[in-house]
Structure 1
Amino acid sequence: MDLAPFKHVLLLPRVRPLALLMFFARMPPAATGVILTLHVAVTLDKGYGAAGLVGAAGTIGMGLGAPLMGKLIDERGLRAMLAVSVTASATFWLSAPLMGYWVLLVCSFLVGLLGVPMMSIGRQVITALVPESRRRVALSVDSISVELSFMGGPALGVFVATKFSTSAALLFIGVSTLVAGLLLYWANPPMIHEDEVVDGPRPKIIEWMRGRIVGVLVVCVGATVCLAGMEVSAIASLEHIGKQSWLGVVFFAMCAASIAGGLVYGGVKKAPSVLVLLVVMAAFEIPVGLGDGSVLWLCLLIIPMNITCAPLIAASGEHISRLAPPTARGLAIGLQGSAFTVGNAIGAPIAGVAIDHGGAPAGFAIVGVIGLLVAGVAWLLARQRKPVATQTTMAS
């Protein structure tokens, strides 16, 4: 592993300040799920089932909204998208403490639909700031940044909610989102690299949305099925032995392993394909249930599959940036975000049903098997003829 490529990427113009901005900008979205859950279940006293509905509404909105916001970037530019999404997001989060349950439920869907897709924006920005030859390293940096945001965001949100109130936490998210959006609007980073050709008519989606790029999106679904199922199964495993307080340690192990994987992936000279990464992730998830009943063994067994997490996010982003034409990259990266959202929505309930019938080990095993099946579907799609716009392959 060679870390010099990371240094070279971070020394490129505007990369460091914008990577730092995206790290902080992604912390509020990372905390929204846990804050909304606590607010609905505890402050509004509606229970966790009602809180889950609010979360599901937001998830559906995000799944539909990410491609729409990406398409708006392609057609009108980043600032036009931010003007819409930052206004919608800040309005929702700053007024959320005043909302009743049913208003909150409807508005959660709307803010998901129109909200700022910080995860997708970060990937597109980093893609536009570096030449194609360095995108693997740059996207590895970005995926590591995402992991760090998910380590810090929820912890900070829970601290504010428990130290003060969930209403204060909602206001904190609103102010943070507004500040991050305004800074991003002011910075106005490029969304297409200066070396990329963007002349001519904008290609229609049917011209580039074909087998290989669809295969990458299928891999993204499979990866988040595995990851969402892993989280639910890990929670069930710790609850079974009365060790819920150790959940933070297990989640830290997950994120640390992913960060380590991102460093390795960005530093190696020949990287594995997205298909290989998904197969490894899914295969290593199946035996994680052997650690059921032991916090130590659960942490150790969960590390191998999570090592592939950041690399898979980076690899899928790299392939999508090559397979989609530059003038449609916002839509393509938005569709990647939707694929991640769909996988997350599928993986959690599937693991939950398996856990109800066979305990946490069954949860780990079933989503691992599903991940392998999804990898098979993606492999078949990867064998199809590549779209005209691309000069790469998914499985190379």
Structure 2
Amino acid sequence: AATPPLEPCLRVLWPDLVPPARLESAYAMDSASQELVFVGGPLVVAGCVAAGSTAGALWVGALLGLLGVFVVATAAPTRDWKAPLRSPDWLGPLRSRGLTVLLVSLTGVGAAIGGLNVLVVFYTEHRHVPGGAATLLALNAFGALVGGLGYGAVRWSSSPPRRTLLLTVGLAAAYALLCLVPSPPYMAALMILTGLFLAPVLTAAFVLVGKLAPAGTVTEAFAWLVTLMTTGIALGSTAAGLVLAHATESWAACVGVLGVAVGVVVLAAGQRCLAAGGSDTADDPAGAAV
């Protein structure tokens, strides 16, 4: 409840900071740079624990969080931003059918992330991996960092809905390889591979959120994205934990495959809604004008 809503607040600023032709690259940089959190965070924790201070990891996290909030809250683009007018509606951005399709699919992606987090901890408890789970999670985030930067460097010709679907299919294939539960060196490679697809999927999703959200609801739409992905992470973590209590790691890895597969099915079935942009917003003239 106390977590500052930095993600939606930051992403709503990009259209005012960069020209339209560079917006997708900006979202790619956003998605890639966010992975620095997941590279640095586990390593900070591992370092503090190795130094004998578990509480120190919490203090460092708190101080870094306060510093980040201060930087964002005092930045000129944040202080200058004004919310556009919006049509009052209790559904807010969810009145866009295309946006709802996208958010449901990302819940499945979140479930895969949550399942992977639990699987990695279990995996490193039963095998020797230098640095333990922190190392594998940092490799996953490094892969996402590289994938995000690579995505932003490419000029894509395919439409955002089709691109999101194809990237999610690639993510599903990468997660399917985890079901092999290979030895640590190969597992490290798979962690990088799953990360390579994750950041591009999120970047393509960010672009779609901006296109699908009705006028004046973009911040709220990004907040829904964070909320539903976090919900998916919680569900995936729970499912993987239950599976590991009664079955093998391969079955726990299937949780991630199932989550992304649900996302693929939803995206494939909803391509028309996604391609319609903001014009599919339940008979709302303001939404149709986006």
Contact 1:216–1:274 (CA under 8 A) maintained in structure 2 = no
**Residue identity matched to 1:227:** I
**Residue identity matched to 1:126:** W
CA–CA separation in structure 1 for the residues paired with 2:62 and 2:193: 36
What pairs with 1:211-360 in structure 2 (closer than 5 Å)?
Answer: 211-243=97-129, 245-270=131-156, 273-292=163-182, 294-360=183-249
**Residue identity matched to 1:275:** L
Pairing 1:204–2:92 present: no
Contact 2:93–2:217 (CA under 8 A) maintained in structure 1 = no
Aligned-pair distance for 1:264?
A: 2.1
**Residue identity matched to 1:117:** P
CA–CA separation in structure 2 for the residues paired with 1:376 and 1:176: 39
Gaps of 5+ in 1: 1-112
What residue is the counterpart of 1:368 in the other structure?
Answer: 257
Gaps of 5+ in 2: none
**Residue identity matched to 1:284:** A
CA–CA separation in structure 2 for the residues paired with 1:276 and 1:213: 18
Residues 391, 133 of structure 1: alpha-carbon distance in 2 compared, 3 angstrom cutoff: farther
Residues 121, 245 of structure 1: alpha-carbon distance in 2 compared, 3 angstrom cutoff: same
What residue is the counterpart of 2:67 in the other structure?
Answer: 179
CA–CA separation in structure 1 for the residues paired with 2:188 and 2:179: 11
- Which deviations, in whole Å up to 9, do the C-alpha atoms of 1:157-177 show, x marking residues without a partner? 443465374444444444433
Moved more, 277-286 or 306-315: 277-286
CA–CA separation in structure 2 for the residues paired with 1:161 and 1:117: 29
Aligned-pair distance for 1:180?
A: 3.0
Residues 177, 251 of structure 1: alpha-carbon distance in 2 compared, 3 angstrom cutoff: closer
CA–CA separation in structure 2 for the residues paired with 1:335 and 1:150: 21
- Which deviations, in whole Å up to 9, do the C-alpha atoms of 1:120-148 show, x marking residues without a partner? 33322334322333221001101111111
CA–CA separation in structure 1 for the residues paired with 2:185 and 2:260: 25
Contact 1:211–1:382 (CA under 8 A) maintained in structure 2 = no
CA–CA separation in structure 1 for the residues paired with 2:132 and 2:2: 36
| Aligned length, in residue pairs | 276
CA–CA separation in structure 2 for the residues paired with 1:218 and 1:124: 21
CA–CA separation in structure 2 for the residues paired with 1:192 and 1:221: 32
CA–CA separation in structure 1 for the residues paired with 2:119 and 2:163: 27
- Which deviations, in whole Å up to 9, do the C-alpha atoms of 1:77-108 show, x marking residues without a partner? xxxxxxxxxxxxxxxxxxxxxxxxxxxxxxxx
**Residue identity matched to 1:204:** D
Q: Describe the SS at the equivalent of 1:134.
A: helix
CA–CA separation in structure 1 for the residues paired with 2:102 and 2:231: 14
CA–CA separation in structure 1 for the residues paired with 2:177 and 2:6: 34
CA–CA separation in structure 1 for the residues paired with 2:271 and 2:289: 14
**Residue identity matched to 2:186:** W
Using structure 1 for the length normalisation, give the TM-score: 0.62
Contact 2:7–2:222 (CA under 8 A) maintained in structure 1 = no
Residues 351, 391 of structure 1: alpha-carbon distance in 2 compared, 3 angstrom cutoff: farther
What pairs with 1:1-396 in structure 2 (closer than 5 Å)?
Answer: 113-160=1-48, 163=51, 165-190=53-78, 198=84, 201-204=86-89, 206=91, 208-209=93-94, 210-243=96-129, 245-270=131-156, 273-292=163-182, 294-384=183-273, 386-387=280-281, 389=287
CA–CA separation in structure 2 for the residues paired with 1:331 and 1:147: 22
Residues 256, 175 of structure 1: alpha-carbon distance in 2 compared, 3 angstrom cutoff: closer
**Residue identity matched to 2:74:** W
**Residue identity matched to 1:176:** L
Contact 1:213–1:320 (CA under 8 A) maintained in structure 2 = yes
Aligned-pair distance for 1:326?
A: 4.5
- Which deviations, in whole Å up to 9, do the C-alpha atoms of 1:186-244 show, x marking residues without a partner? 224248989xx935x53425474232101111122111111221222233223233447
Residues 232, 158 of structure 1: alpha-carbon distance in 2 compared, 3 angstrom cutoff: same
**Residue identity matched to 1:295:** P
CA–CA separation in structure 1 for the residues paired with 2:180 and 2:58: 39
